[in-house]
Amino acid sequence: MVSKPHGGRLVRKLLSEKTKERILEESKEYQKINIREGTAIDIENIAHGIYSPLEGFLVENEFQSVLDDMRLPNDLPWSIPIVLDVKEKDLKFDVGDEILLYHKNIPIAVMNVDDIYKYDKKEFAQKVFKTTDINHPGVAKVYNMNEYLVGGEIRLLNELPNPFEKYTLRPIETRVLFKERKFETIVAFQTRNVPHLGHEYLQKSALTFVDGLFINPVLGKKKKGDYKDEVILKAYETLFKHYYPKDSAVLATVRYEMRYAGPREAIHHAIMRKNFGCTHFIVGRDHAGVGNYYGPYEAQEIFKNFPDLGITPMFFKEFFYCKKCKGIVNERICPHPMEDREYFSGTKIRNMIANGEIPPEYFMRKEVYETIMSFENPFVEE
Partner 1 sequence: MPDERKYTTVSIPIQLYEKIKKRIEGTGFTSVSDYVTYVLREVLASLEEEEKEEVFSEEEEEKVKERLRALGYLD
Query: DSSP of 208-238, one letter per residue?
Result: TTSSEEEEEEEES---TTSBPHHHHHHHHHH
Closest contact distance (angstroms) between CB of 227 and partner 1 is: 23
Question: Distances from the Cα of 374 to the Cαs of 25, 220, 353, in angstroms?
Answer: 46, 21, 12
Closest contact distance (angstroms) between CB of 246 and partner 1 is: 10
Number of residues that bind partner 1 (CB under 8 A): 26
Closest contact distance (angstroms) between CB of 309 and partner 1 is: 8
307 binds partner 1 (CB under 8 A): yes
Q: Are strands 249-251 and 186-191 parallel, antiparallel or unpaired?
A: unpaired
Q: Which is nearer to partner 1, 7 or 262 (CB)?
A: 7
Cβ–Cβ < 8 Å for 320, 344: yes
| Ranges within 176-195 binding partner 1 (CB under 8 A) | 176-177, 180
Q: Which is nearer to partner 1, 3 or 39 (CB)?
A: 3
- Strand residues in the chain grouped as ranges (E): 31-34, 56-57, 84-86, 98-103, 106-112, 115-118, 148-156, 186-191, 212-219, 249-251, 254-255, 280-283, 312-315, 319-322, 327-330, 341-343
Q: Which residues pair with 79 in a beta bridge?
A: none
Closest contact distance (angstroms) between CB of 106 and partner 1 is: 23
Task: Candidates 17, 25, 94, 308: give the one binding partner 1 (CB under 8 A).
Answer: 308
Per-residue binding string, partner 1, 42-81, x by CB under 8 A, is ----------------------xx--xx-----x------
Contact region with partner 1 (CB under 8 A), list: 217-225, 305-313, 314-322, 339-347:
305-313
In the three-class reduction of DSSP (H, G, I as helix; E, B as strand; rest coil), residue 332 is classed as coil
Task: Candidates 125, 309, 364, 372: give the one binding partner 1 (CB under 8 A).
Answer: 309
Cα–Cα distance for residue pair 263/249, rounded to 1 Å: 26
Q: Which is nearer to partner 1, 31 or 312 (CB)?
A: 312
Closest contact distance (angstroms) between CB of 64 and partner 1 is: 6
17 binds partner 1 (CB under 8 A): no
Is there a catalytic annotation at residue 193? yes
Closest contact distance (angstroms) between CB of 177 and partner 1 is: 6
Cβ–Cβ < 8 Å for 196, 349: yes
- The catalytic position among 193, 264, 275, 341 is 193
In the three-class reduction of DSSP (H, G, I as helix; E, B as strand; rest coil), residue 342 is classed as strand
Cβ–Cβ < 8 Å for 44, 159: yes
Cα–Cα distance for residue pair 257/288, rounded to 1 Å: 11
120 binds partner 1 (CB under 8 A): no
Is there a catalytic annotation at residue 192? yes
Task: Candidates 138, 262, 310, 359: give the one binding partner 1 (CB under 8 A).
Answer: 310
Calculate the dihedral angle through the C-alpha atoms of 233, 236, 241, 246, rounding to the nearest 10 degrees: -100
- The catalytic position among 112, 192, 305, 377 is 192
Cα–Cα distance for residue pair 103/371, rounded to 1 Å: 34
Up-side HSE of residue 78: CA atoms within 13 Å toward CB?
25
| Ranges within 269-288 binding partner 1 (CB under 8 A) | none
Q: Which residues bind partner 1 (CB under 8 A)?
A: 1, 4-5, 8-10, 64-65, 68-69, 75, 166, 169, 172-173, 175-177, 180, 250, 252, 304, 307-310
Active site residue ranges: 192-193
